[in-house]
Amino acid sequence: MEYTQLGSAGLRVSRLCLGTMNFGPETNEPDSFAIMDRAHELGINFFDTANVYGWVLGEGVTEQIIGRWFAQGGGRREKTVIATKVYGGMGSWPNESKCSALNIRRACEGSLRRLQTDHIDIYQMHHIDRLTPWDEIWQAMEQLVREGKIIYAGSSNFAGWHIVQANEIAKDRHFYGLISEQCKYSLNSRLVELEVLPACKAYGLGVIPWSPLGGGMLGGALKKISEGRRASEEIQRRIERNRDKLEAYESLCSKLGEQPADVALAWLLANPVVTAPIIGPRTMEQFDGSLRALEIELSPETMQELDKIWPGPGGPAPEAWAW
């Protein structure tokens, strides 16, 4: 397994991050345990979750599964850099969502309890909270750091200017600020190249792409349908809208002798700003299939071909639209 620093921080993480969103709703507990054990066998030390995963209000189903896995011992917790999130609703009463100081405190305590750990390595804001001032947010995070309940703070789904604002205010408070940004980024979703990635590069944040396969579109969607696999109506509509691109993409992957999913991950890994794409397997087969991407080196010519098939916004702002 390859390891790298998370942005400019000293923390070292694996080049792939195990996403756990399917643990509970799609993957039962024994299979989830097996996937996490397999991740450690292969050297993956970076796991991502969220307090709302499991999608049962207030239950934190996925965190509970991970907590019971940690509780088995054997160095499971010690070997894992665990990242979870705050923002989503964990109840129907006021102050049980978003990023008020009250909810940050309450949500952190709940995640610690479910995860059966005394600290969270990376505590991520799942979305920007436009109604809570940054001084309040950072005061709450600083207190959690002082108490040893979190080590780092991260963001998810932030705009570029949110990252700048957050880190400048953190700097004024002599606080470390954000260590990472988890954003939607893939070959067919490249808007973050305009301002989010440049902001992350400038402030030394590690980028953790979610949905690196474009919701399954980049995982060989056309081939799977031709083999008789089912796809939801929404996926079918997206495939039809992008059929020409998908045909060109899967043809290129075939010429390379690689699976489309592996090429999509390798493309992300080739970006020096990207730390670790999140892979979210439902099965062990899917998990094992993701590892090939670490071995693929895409040539400059292949990168150019991919840009032709899946064009980005034209580079960073403002050059993307100005002279």
Q: Which residues are catalytic?
A: 53
Whether omega for the bond prior to residue 272 falls within 30 degrees of 0, making it cis, is no
CB neighbours of residue 127 within 10 Å = 18
Give the whole-angstrom CA distance, residue 79 versus residue 149: 17
Single out the residue of 280, 287, 235, 288 nearest to residue 26, CA to CA: 280
Give the largest CA-CA distance in the chain.
Answer: 58
Q: What is the DSSP string of 267-308?
A: HHHTSTTB--PEE--SSHHHHHHTGGGGG----HHHHHHHHH
CA atoms within 13 A on the CB side of 319: 6
Two tokens, residue 319: 């050059």
Yes or no: say if 15 and 44 are a contact pair by the CB < 8 Å rule: no
Q: Find the helix or strand (DSSP H, E) in which 206 lies.
A: strand 206-210
Of 151, 183, 150, 181, the C-alpha closest to 164 is 181
The answer for residues whose C-beta is within 8 angstroms of residue 245's C-beta and 6 or more apart is 188, 309, 310
Q: Which amino acid is at 17?
A: C
Beta partners for residue 98, in sequence order: none
DSSP single-letter state for residue 60: -
Size of the chain, expressed as the number of residues it contains: 323
